[in-house]
Amino acid sequence: MEPWARGLQAGVDEVGIGPLAGPVYAAAVILNPTRSIEGLNDSKVLSKKRRESLCKEIKNASLAWCVGRASVGEVDQLNVLRASHLAMQRAVNGLTHTPDMVLVDGNKKPPLAYPVMTIVRGDGRVPQISAASIIAKVARDAEMVDLDEQFPGYGFAQHKGYPTKKHFSALQNLGACDVHRQSFAPVRAVNDAAQPDLLPT
């Protein structure tokens, strides 16, 4: 038995570290040991249809789940790692059951009020973390689709804010919008290029 596989474990994962736009999401999930869920895996290797199907199943079968979010403003103010930890805190604090242990994907330990174990590549190895990665991914993708309607032309519904060729092209043509992360270098570069040169008077 793994050292963490005792008591009530909450799996935690974040989504949205790398994008140039949009919030960071995290989810916390406590699975029900009496209700197995087949097919849990890292959300990135699952199809959209499979993720959404599993997301519904996880929410129905789990003992508890919660989604946390850190805004674009918080990403710019805190930096993206600290903002992701804030989203994790919000997710864990919103659980309706108290975990004995929190299992977090990766190697960065967020400041939580419970014992924490980090697990590298946990989203593909630990069912609780896999479930959290799926819920967080589905939630963030849904917001990026909404933002695509509010800020047309950037392609948020397709690339979800990640730095794709289409996204860079839209940034160059349209400039940055309110949901772009102003602290990220590619966005700063676009903003700087849009500023007129200040000539001495």
pLDDT at 1 over 50: no
The percent of residues above 90 in pLDDT, for the chain, comes to 91
Compute the Cα dihedral for 77, 80, 86, 90 and give only its sign: positive
| pLDDT of 7 | 84
The whole-chain average pLDDT of the chain stands at 94
CA 151 to CA 129: how far, in whole Å?
32
Domain boundaries, the chain: 9-192
CA 27 to CA 46: how far, in whole Å?
17
pLDDT at 198 over 80: no
Q: Domain 9-192 belongs to what architecture?
A: 2-Layer Sandwich (3.30)
Identify whether the C-beta of residue 117 lies closer than 8 Å to the C-beta of residue 133. no
Instruction: Give the distance, in angstroms, between the CA of residue 120 and the centroid of all CA atoms in the same chain.
Output: 16
Residue range 54-62: mean pLDDT, rounded: 98
CA 159 to CA 100: how far, in whole Å?
37
Residues in the chain: 201
- The two three-digit tokens of residue 28, written as one number: 């916390």
pLDDT at 145 over 50: yes
Residue range 44-66: mean pLDDT, rounded: 97
Identify whether the C-beta of residue 2 lies closer than 8 Å to the C-beta of residue 12. no
Q: How confident is the model at residue 197 (pLDDT cuts 50, 70, 90)?
A: low
| pLDDT of 113 | 93
